[in-house]
Chains A and B, each alone.
Chain A
Amino acid sequence: MRILINSACALVLATTFLTPAFAAEKVTIATDATFPPFESIDENGKLIGFDIELMEAICKEAELDCDIIGAAWDGMFPSLIEGKYHALISQLTVTDKRRQVVAFSDIYDHPIFRFAAKKGADITISPEGVTGKIIAVQTGTPMDAYVTAHMPGATIKRYDSGSAPFLDLTNGRADLVLGYQAQIVHSFLKTDDGKDFELTGPEMTGKDAKEFGEGVAIAIGKNNTQLVEDVNRGLSKVRENGTLKALMTKYFGE
C-alpha cells in the first residue's frame, strides 16, 4: 500500500514538474478583468473585452495555444516574473520601470488619460486646482504614478481594482477619478451610474508625462524572446488584416 502511495506521489510530482518540458506548450495569459471595456467578466463568467478579443486574434494568427485567465491585479506582475504566467494583457503601459522586470511586445495602442468628475464640479485640473480634493485611482497603475508624482496636494485614494474608484466617485467619497478615457466613456459615463458625471481637464498621453508610458503592449516574461517574437508576428498580422482596426471600431467607434 505504502509503495503504491509513494509511486502515486512520484507520478503526480513528475507530471507537475515535467509536463511543460515536453507537451506542446500552452501559453497562459493573465488579465485583470475589472477594466471594462478592455477586460471584464460577463454574466456567464466568461472573459470579454477589447484586449481579450485582440489576444485571441493574435494567438490564432501566431498559431499559439493560448489560455487567457482572470487574475488579481496585485499579483499579476510578480506572477509573470516568477513564471506562473507567460504573458499579461491588461492595457499595460510600457514604462522604464516595468521594462526592467518584464519584456513587452510591440505597442498596440496609445491610450488617452482623462479625469472624470461630477457635472458642474468645476475643478481646475492642475497641481494647485486639485489641492484638497480626493482623487481615486487603481494602485500601481500609470494613473497612480501620475497623481502621486504631480499632485502632492491632493488626497490620493488607491484601490485594488479598476472599477472600485468609480464606485467611490458615484457615492461621493472621491471628487475625481483619473483613468483611461475609453474606460471612463464606455464603461462609466454611458451607464446609469455615470449620467451625472463628465470628462474634465486636458487629454493626456505619454507625451505629456513619462508616468503614462509609451503606449500599451502585452507583457511577456523577460527571457522569453521566442514568445515575444511569436506575439509580435501575430500582432502585425492582426494589424495588416484589419482585425485591430475592426476591434477599435467595435469597441470605441474610432
Chain B
Amino acid sequence: MNWNIIVENIPLYFTGMKLTLFLAFTSLALSFIIAVPLSFLRNSARSGVRYAVSAYTLLFRGTPLLVQLFLIYFGLAQFGLIRHSFMWPWLSSPLVCVLLAFVLNTAAYTTEIFAGALRSIPVGELEAARAYGLPKSKQAIRILVPAMLTRALPLYGNEMIMMLHATSLASTVTLLETTGVARRITLDNYIQFEPYVTAAGIYLTITFVIITSFQIVQRRFAGYLEPRSI
C-alpha cells in the first residue's frame, strides 16, 4: 500500500472534486430548467409536439452517454463547417462539450421522470383547481408543477446520483475531475488501488449528502403522499 502518494495529491483531489461538483450541479440545474416545460409538452394534446419530445428522449436515452460525448467532442470537430463557424470557440472547449452532452442526456431522463409524475397526478386535484377558476398558467404553476415535483422526488433523486457518477466520463476528454485525477495518479505512479479507492470515497461522500438532503426534502414537501395510519 502506498498512501503517501495519495496524501501528496490531496490538493489535486480537491480541485478534482470541485470540478465534479461543478459538472454535476450545473448539468442538473440546466437540465431541470429544460425538463419542466418539456415534461408538459411530452403530455401535450397535440400529437406532433408529443412525438417530437418523445423522439428527443428516445435518442438520448437510447444511446450511451460516452458515445454522445465522443460525438460532440471529437465527432463535431471533424466537420470544417463547424470548425469555422461562430460555434467553434464554444465547442472547442472540452468543458462546454461535456456540459452540452450531460445536459442533453440528463434532461431527457428528467423529462420522462417528470412527465410520468404529471400523468400520475389524480384528476381530482386538477378538477379542484378548475373549480376555483384558476387560469391554465396558474393551474400549471400552483398545482401541477408542485404536485409533479413531489411525486417525482424519489426517481429524481436517483437521476441526480446517476448524473453525479456519470461526470466521471469527463476525464475521457481531458478534464481532470475526480476520476481523471485518480487516473493521472495511476499513470504517473503505477498504482491503481489507492487512487481509485480514494475517488470512490469522494463519490460515496457526495452521494451520501445528496441522499440525506433528499430524505429531508421529501419529508418536508412530499409527506402528504406517505401512506398514513388512521
Contacts and interface: CB of A to CB of B under 8 A. Distances in A.
Contact of A171 (B83, B174, B191, B192): B83
A139 B188 CA distance: 8
B184 interface: yes
B187 A171 contact: no
A92 B217 CA distance: 54
B190 A77 contact: yes
A81 B83 contact: no
A74 B187 contact: yes
A contacts with B: majority SS: mixed
B92 interface: yes
B186 interface: yes
A75 B83 contact: no
B190 A158 contact: no
B contacts with A: majority SS: helix
B77 interface: yes
Interface in B171-202: 172, 174, 183-184, 186-188, 190-192
Given A139-B184, A172-B83, A78 B174 contact: no
Given A167-B74, A172-B83, A101 B92 contact: no
A159 interface: yes
Interface string A162-202: 00000110011100000000000000000000000000000
B78 interface: yes
Nearest to B182: A74
A128 interface: no
A77 B188 CA distance: 10
B187 A139 contact: yes
Contacts of B92: 171-173
Give chain B's interface residue range (CB within 8 Å of chain A): 10 to 19
Contacts of B88: 172
Given A139-B183, A157-B174, A171-B77, A78 B83 contact: no
A74 B183 contact: yes
B186 A78 contact: yes
A159 B191 CA distance: 18
A239 to B, nearest CB: 29
Contacts of A140: 184, 186-188
A73 interface: yes
Nearest to B184: A139
Given A157-B174, A160-B172, A173 B187 contact: no
Interface of B: 74, 77-78, 83, 88, 92, 94, 172, 174, 183-184, 186-188, 190-192
10 contacts: A74-B186, A75-B186, A81-B190, A139-B184, A140-B187, A159-B174, A167-B74, A171-B74, A172-B88, A173-B92
Interface of A: 73-75, 77-78, 81, 98, 101-102, 139-140, 157-160, 167-168, 171-173
Given A140-B186, A171-B77, A171-B83, 5 more contacts: A157-B174, A160-B183, A167-B77, A171-B74, A172-B77
